[in-house]
Amino acid sequence: MKPVLMCRDVVVDFDGFRALQGVDLVVYPHEVRFLIGPNGAGKTTLLDVICGRTRATDGRVLFFSHDITQRPEYEIVQIGIARKFQSPSIFPFLTVWENMELAMRQDRRLRSVLRAKLTGEEKEMMAAQLEKIGLLDERHRLAGSLSHGQKQWLEIGMQLIQRPQLLLLDEPIAGMSAAERERTGEWLHEMAEHCAVIIVEHDMDFVRRYSKQVTVMHEGKVLCEGSMDEVQQNERVIDVYLGRGKNACCASGM
Amino acid sequence: MNKRWGYWLFFAALFLAPFYLTEFRLSLLGKFLCFAIVAVGISLIWGHTGILSLGHGVYFGLGAYCMAMYLKLEASRGHLPDFMEWSGVRELPWFWKPFAHPMVAIAAAIALPTLLAALLSYFTFKNRIQGVYFSLLSQAVVVVFVTLFIGKQEWTGGTNGLTNFSTVFGFSLSSPLTQIVLYWLTAAVLALIFVMTRRLTTGRLGKVLIAIRDAENRVRFLGFNPTVYKVFVYSLSAAFAGVAGALFVLQVGLISPEMMGIIPSIEMVLWAAVGGRHSLMGAIMGAIVMNTAKSFLSENYPDLWLLLLGALFVVVVLFVPKGLAGIYESLAAVRIKEKRGHECEARVDVS
Ligand SMILES: Nc1ncnc2c1ncn2[C@@H]1O[C@H](COP(=O)(O)OP(=O)(O)O)[C@@H](O)[C@H]1O
Ligand SMILES: [Mg+2]
């Protein structure tokens, strides 16, 4: 099978500080890949590089056969990579419905947006998506007035309606209740029917429950890859987490 | 529906103004409608897109000067314009020559401001210069142009600007009928620009603009290129200002560097702020109300105006950030609530 994403020897240098020091990552279609590692390991930075928010100092990022290493963010989105940020970033002064309308897969050039009108088919699709994330009844509300959890869901809905081929999630369950976490976890695998997912997560219980493949990062490098069980047995991983003592963010869960 | 009736009523009142206003008041209102056209553009870029421009005086001025050049040439009847003779110029400069054709002048009055705005906004927004830095840059452009227009007296008429016109398309500018026709033209242009901008802001474009205003980065990650959208609306608002300038000079008969300077540029922003920058109709009202107040005050207490303007700015920013439109909307919201309340009671009665 052809990989969706290939990162080769990606280096990011922030004025002398090497946040990524040669990262390789290959993700296949329909895969849910968990990225874990202590704070500052470079997980967010890696997602930033993939979606074009941060430029790689060296190395290449391939999306199918496109080299996207130097493309602007909006082009990367247009060819099929969606990104969800750590804090919910919906548009507070647009309604739930309008948020979805902007997120929907469409021609995003000015000249087509000027003429754009929702077709019946599009409306149905948006309604179906809203139904799934439980926000259909809230569609006329300003997104800014939703609860924190609802905002998270809206944002996930906005990612899904983009119909991406690769979805990047950065700590999506932060601030969610236990029930919401569970729904998110189930969703992850439903999402994977349509696209590949890379997810950064700190909550080890969540990772253990919903992961197949895990990539552990540490100090800007990939430490190891495998199932959660394999990863937990890995000497170097144990060293890193034990070496960091009990304060390290993930230590308690390992 | 209610709102739409309000709009019809407003524009009907504007079109009928020649029948109930004196010649003097009508000429004032004509001038204010030009300002209202500018205010619509300001609302579009500031209220809807979050771009605060302190440089719209220049676009207004450029439009006005383009039109004025044609009027000046028509008034000079084949001779050199008077101020050029006084400055010792022998021959009409090459760039003045095309302005003998009114169509060239009108086209330039729209194209030049648009082009200048497109260049300025493209290079700043592309490099992701935003917020206060953009505002300062736009103001720097004002300083450059005012200095240039004052300094190049032999080409621009210097501090006096361009004035002493006689006819437009051969019709006397001093005739009341010409002035009424020009007033109607201005009202029609305002209506057209209002309707067009409203369509833009209520369509999907309007949603993209609000999204850019509130979270530009997020918009990028939805696959829109904000630079293109911002350059588009900024240039469009400059085109509005240019048209307004051209209509202004036809009715007022004068344009000078002072009228495109920093203070007029700030006043333009204030019209929208006082009226409610998020609302196109609010911005129109703001321009009319503020300028009515200004002409009343400067007739009676000329020194007071600038002070009051400053005070007003502070008050609006601190206490009424949504301006007149905001006040109107909260009143309307209360009314709707009361109405809903009655409906609920009615329903309770039935059951
Ligand atoms: N824009 C930046 N400039 C300088 N250093 C940065 C920047 N962004 C992140 N870093 C540093 O890079 C390292 C990796 O950060 P990050 O990718 O956010 O880690 P993680 O998401 O794994 O916790 C951290 O040490 C962080 O301080
Ligand atoms: Mg992070």
Residue ranges making up the domain that contains A174: 1-80+164-254
Residue whose pair of structure tokens reads 């307004």 in the numeric block: B244
| Closest-approach residue (CA) in chain A for B230 | A110
Asked whether residue A73 falls in the same domain as residue A191, the answer is yes
Q: How far is the CA of B80 from the centre of ligand 1 (A)?
A: 67
Tokens linked to B212: 């850019």
Question: How high is the pLDDT of residue B245?
Answer: 98
Give residue A121's region: left, alpha or beta (phi > 0; psi -120 to 50): alpha
User: What phi and psi values does residue B325 have, to the nearest 5 degrees?
Assistant: -60, -40
**Residue A46: nearest ligand to its CA?**
1
Number of domains in chain B: 2
Q: Whose CA is nearest to atom 5 of ligand 1?
A: A14
How do residues B55-90 score in pLDDT, each as one tens digit? 999 999 999 999 999 999 999 988 999 999 999 999
Q: Write the pLDDT tens digit of every residue in A12-27.
A: 999 999 999 999 999 9
- Note whether A175 and A253 are same-domain residues: yes
Q: Which amino acid is at A185?
A: G
| B167 domain-assigned | yes
How many domains does one find in chain A?
A: 2
Place of tokens 């300083």: B143
Helix (H) or strand (E) holding B311: helix B304-319
Output the CA torsion sign for B319, B322, B325, B328.
Answer: negative
Say which CATH number the domain at A196 has: 3.40.50.300
In this predicted structure, the answer to whether residue B131 has a pLDDT above a threshold of 80 is yes
CB A93 to CB B214 under 8 A? yes
> In degrees rounded to 5, what are phi and psi of residue A4?
-75, -45
How is residue B98 written in tokens?
């095309």
CB-CB neighbors (< 8 A) of A47 in chain B:
none
Residues contacting A123, CB < 8 A, separation 6+? none
Of A163, A193, A212, the residue at which a domain comes to its end is A163
Expressed in angstroms and rounded, the spacing between residue A171 Cα and the centre of ligand 2 is 8
Both B341 and B274 in one domain: the answer is: no
Please count the CA atoms within 13 angstroms of the CA of A152 that sit on its side-chain side.
19
Q: Are residues A111 and A195 in the same domain?
A: no
Whether residues A146 and A171 share a domain: the answer is: no
Where does a domain end: A115, A130, A163?
A: A163
pLDDT tens per residue, range A92-147: 999 999 999 999 999 999 999 999 999 999 999 999 999 988 999 999 999 999 98
Across residues A158-178, what is the average pLDDT?
Answer: 87
Spatial separation of the C-alpha atoms in residues A128 and A125, rounded to whole Å:
5
Whether residues B325 and B299 share a domain: the answer is: no
B314 falls within a domain: no
The answer to whether residues B251 and B338 belong to one domain is: no
Provide the pLDDT for residue B42: 98
Q: Is residue A159 part of a domain?
A: yes
The pLDDT of residue B249: 97
Residues A6 and A27 in one domain: yes
Atom of ligand 1 at shortest distance to CA of A39? Answer: 23
- A54 shares a domain with A4: yes
A128 and A15 co-located in one domain: no
Residue B204 has its nearest CB partner, among A78, A116, A158, at A116
**Are A99 and A181 part of one and the same domain?**
no
B345 vs A221, more confident: A221
Residue nearest to atom 3 of ligand 1 (CA): A14
> Could you write out the three-class secondary structure of chain A?
CCCCEEEEEEEEEECCEEEEEEEEEEECCCCEEEEECCCCCCHHHHHHHHHCCCCCCEEEEEECCEECCCCCHHHHHHCCEEEECCCCCCCCCCEHHHHHHHHCCCCCCHHHHHHCCCCHHHHHHHHHHHHHCCCHHHCCCEHHHCCHHHHHHHHHHHHHHCCCCEEEEECCCCCCCHHHHHHHHHHHHHHCCCCEEEEECCCHHHHHHHCCEEEEEECCEEEEEECHHHHHHCHHHHHHHHHCCCCCCCHHHC
Q: For residues B3 and A240, what is the distance between their CA atoms, to the nearest angstrom?
A: 65
- Cα distance between residue A10 and residue B95, in whole Å: 55
The reply to whether B88 falls in a domain is yes
Same domain, yes or no, for B175 and B136?
Answer: yes
- Is the pLDDT confidence value at A65 over 60? yes
Instruction: Indicate whether A250 pLDDT > 60.
Output: no
Within this chain, do residues B233 and B325 fall inside the same structural domain, yes or no? no
In a domain, A86, yes or no: no
Q: Does B315 fall in a domain? A: no
Ligand 1 neighbours, Cβ below 6 Å, are A 14, 17, 19, 37, 39-45
Last residue of a domain, one of A111, A143, A163: A163
Do B121 and B260 belong together in one domain? yes
Q: Which of A18, A45, A219 has most ligand 1 atoms within 8 Å of CB, for mutation?
A: A45
Q: Looking at the predicted structure, is the pLDDT value of residue B339 above 70?
A: no
> A57 lies in a domain?
yes
* Separation of alpha carbons A215 and A28, rounded Å: 14
How far apart, in whole angstroms, are the C-alpha atoms of residue A78 and residue A80? 5
CA A80 to CA A173: how far, in whole Å? 23
* A51 contacts on B by Cβ (under 8 Å): 221
- What pTM, to 2 d.p., does this model score? 0.88
DSSP H or E segment with residue B163: strand B162-163
Residues A64 and A25 in one domain: yes
pLDDT at A253 over 80: no
Q: Rounded CA gap, A19 and A40, in Å?
A: 8
pLDDT of residue B350: 36
Domain that includes residue B100, residue range: 3-309
Pick the residue from chain B with its C-alpha nearest to A85: B218
Supply the mean pLDDT for chain B: 91
In a domain? residue A85: no
How far apart (Å, rounded) are the C-alpha atoms in residues B265 and B297? 20
Q: Which of B208, B214, B217 sits opposite A113 (nearest CB)?
A: B208
Same domain, B346 and B217: no
- Pair (A173, A131) in one structural domain: no
The answer on pLDDT for A87 being more than 70 is no
Sign of the alpha-carbon torsion through A244, A247, A249, A254: positive
* B223 and B348 inside one domain: no
Rounded to two decimals, the ipTM of the complex is 0.86
Contact yes or no for A114 and B222 at CB 8 A = no
Residue B170 lies in a domain: yes
Sign of CA dihedral A83, A88, A94, A98: positive
Q: Give me the pLDDT at residue A115, please.
A: 93
Task: Determine contact: B202 vs chain A, CB below 8 A.
Answer: no
Which residue out of A7, A13, A15, A17 has the highest number of ligand 1 atoms within 8 Å of its CB and is therefore the one to mutate?
A17
Mean pLDDT of chain A: 89
Helix (H, G, I), strand (E, B) or coil at B52: coil
Q: Are residues B291 and B331 in the same domain?
A: no
A168 and A233 part of one domain: yes
Chain B residues touching A110 at Cβ < 8 A: 205, 228-229, 232
Beta bridge partners of A20: A12
User: Strands A58-63, A5-14: parallel, antiparallel or unpaired by DSSP?
Assistant: antiparallel
CA distance B125 to B239: 18
Instruction: Determine the Cα–Cα distance for residues B281 and B198; give it in Å rounded to an integer.
Output: 9
The count of CB pairs under 8 A between chains A and B is 73
Answer yes or no: do B113 and B152 share one domain: yes
B295 in the same domain as B199: yes
Instruction: Let me know whether A197 and A239 are in one domain.
Output: yes
Q: Are residues B169 and B146 in the same domain?
A: yes
Sign of CA dihedral B189, B190, B195, B201: positive
